[in-house]
């Protein structure tokens, strides 16, 4: 984790994310890229790369740059190596471009609550960031006094396609010397499996990633829906971080169909880390 990106819109949720990103940057001696996107109407300026010579865009950029400088005048940023970005355009596209051009390792972004992903800072485009990002995305809801995670819940179907996400999660969680607990949500009907079947399935997964199965690192949580199961299971585990593998353009992995991953991000009071499969 050498390069961290945090998009900001000058709101309280984005500052909560900025504080977490700054702490991560200090902990990892990482470079912190801070991005503000000026979201302008495509009907006025087109869908391609905006022409920054346009007089109206220059006016908005000057205003945004001034506010950006004021927003970044924080004591907790004084010991952080910062790269600033102010760009006009579509937030999801700009974030993707900044990630690609700067070899970003993780995106940290703020969310204001459970009224839909449109409430995540930088607008509804963030749903695309969470779902499609090629790099891990950490969504922050509340201000965290510290980022000393102790107990992370990795929620998965534990199919082999999730192995790389598991390895990435393990490296991240191990960097905090935190405990990683595996969370499987068992649903009623034809998605129900016995405890023995699930444990055998998870053991095969762990054998592949060379992690031993122990009596206290697997939680099988029975619930009526995957989203509620993840939230309730994480609460039962007393987790302080939820980790979810995603399938990118194909949607959320396995039983994370439809909007389950987005629902978890929206309704979780805990930080949520999503990892691309």
pLDDT at 92: 79
> Which of 85, 109, 140 is the C-terminal boundary of a domain?
140
The answer to whether residue 215 sits within a structural domain is yes
The answer to whether residue 174 sits within a structural domain is yes
Asked if 122 and 159 sit in the same domain, the reply is no
The answer to whether residue 212 sits within a structural domain is yes
Asked if 135 and 207 sit in the same domain, the reply is no
The residue with greater pLDDT, 234 or 9, is 234
Q: Identify whether the C-beta of residue 261 lies closer than 8 Å to the C-beta of residue 250.
A: no
Residues 40-82 have pLDDT tens digits of: 655 444 545 555 556 666 666 677 777 788 888 899 998 899 9
The answer to whether residue 163 sits within a structural domain is yes
Asked if 61 and 91 sit in the same domain, the reply is yes
The residue with greater pLDDT, 252 or 187, is 187
Q: Identify whether the C-beta of residue 4 lies closer than 8 Å to the C-beta of residue 21.
A: yes
Asked if 82 and 134 sit in the same domain, the reply is yes
Q: Provide mean pLDDT across the span 165-176.
A: 92
Give the integer Cα–Cα distance in Å for 148 and 176: 6
Count: domains in the chain: 2
Of 40-54, 107-121, 197-211, 257-271, least confident by mean pLDDT is 40-54
What residue spans of 76-225 are helical by DSSP H?
A: 91-101, 126-132, 163-174, 195-209
Distance separating the N- and C-terminal Cα atoms of the chain: 18
Give the integer Cα–Cα distance in Å for 210 and 4: 29
Task: Report the mean per-residue pLDDT for the chain.
Answer: 82
The answer to whether residue 47 sits within a structural domain is yes
Asked if 8 and 136 sit in the same domain, the reply is yes
> Which of 106, 140, 174 is the C-terminal boundary of a domain?
140
Report the percent of the chain where pLDDT is more than 70. Answer: 81
Q: Identify whether the C-beta of residue 7 lies closer than 8 Å to the C-beta of residue 32.
A: no
The answer to whether residue 145 sits within a structural domain is no
Give the integer Cα–Cα distance in Å for 113 and 273: 16
Asked if 47 and 133 sit in the same domain, the reply is yes
**CATH assignment of the domain containing 88:** 3.40.50.620
The set of residues, in sequence order, having a beta carbon less than 8 Å from that of 73 and lying 6+ positions away, is none
Asked if 205 and 248 sit in the same domain, the reply is yes
The answer to whether residue 146 sits within a structural domain is no
Asked if 70 and 104 sit in the same domain, the reply is yes
Looking at the predicted structure, is the pLDDT value of residue 160 above 50?
Answer: yes
> Which of 100, 117, 140 is the C-terminal boundary of a domain?
140
Residues 97-139 have pLDDT tens digits of: 999 999 999 999 987 755 544 444 444 555 667 777 889 999 9
Asked if 229 and 205 sit in the same domain, the reply is yes
Geometric angle at alpha carbon 1, from 110 and 142, rounded to 5°: 20
Of 23-27, 61-65, 138-142, 263-267, least confident by mean pLDDT is 61-65
Q: Which residue has the tokens 């790269």?
A: 83
State which residues form the domain around 7: 3-140
The answer to whether residue 68 sits within a structural domain is yes
Asked if 32 and 64 sit in the same domain, the reply is yes
Asked if 180 and 269 sit in the same domain, the reply is yes
Asked if 120 and 179 sit in the same domain, the reply is no
């Amino acid at each position: 984790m050498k390069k961290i990106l945090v998009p900001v819109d000058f709101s309280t949720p984005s500052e909560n994310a900025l504080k977490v990103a700054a702490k991560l940057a200090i902990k990892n001696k990482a470079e912190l890229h801070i991005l503000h996107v000026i979201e302008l109407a495509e009907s006025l300026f087109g869908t391609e790369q905006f022409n920054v010579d346009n007089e109206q865009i220059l006016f908005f950029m000057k205003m945004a740059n001034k506010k950006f400088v004021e927003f970044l005048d924080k004591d907790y940023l004084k010991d952080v190596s910062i790269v600033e970005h102010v760009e006009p355009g579509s937030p999801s596209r700009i974030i993707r471009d900044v990630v690609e051009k700067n070899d970003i390792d993780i995106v940290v972004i703020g969310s204001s609550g459970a009224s839909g992903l449109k409430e995540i800072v930088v607008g509804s485009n963030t749903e695309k960031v969470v779902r499609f990002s090629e790099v891990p995305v950490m969504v922050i809801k509340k201000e965290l006094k510290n980022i000393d995670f102790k107990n992370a819940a990795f929620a998965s179907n534990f199919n082999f396609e999730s192995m790389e996400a598991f390895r990435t999660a393990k490296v991240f969680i191990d960097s905090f010397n935190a405990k990683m607990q595996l969370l499987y949500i068992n649903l009623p009907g034809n998605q129900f499996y016995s405890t023995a079947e699930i444990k055998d399935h998870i053991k095969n997964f762990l054998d592949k990633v060379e992690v031993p199965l122990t009596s206290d690192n697997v939680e099988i949580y029975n619930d009526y829906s995957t989203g509620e199961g993840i939230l309730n299971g994480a609460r039962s585990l007393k987790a302080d971080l939820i980790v979810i593998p995603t399938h990118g353009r194909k949607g959320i992995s396995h039983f994370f169909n439809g909007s389950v991953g987005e629902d978890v991000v929206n309704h979780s009071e805990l930080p949520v880390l999503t990892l691309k499969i």
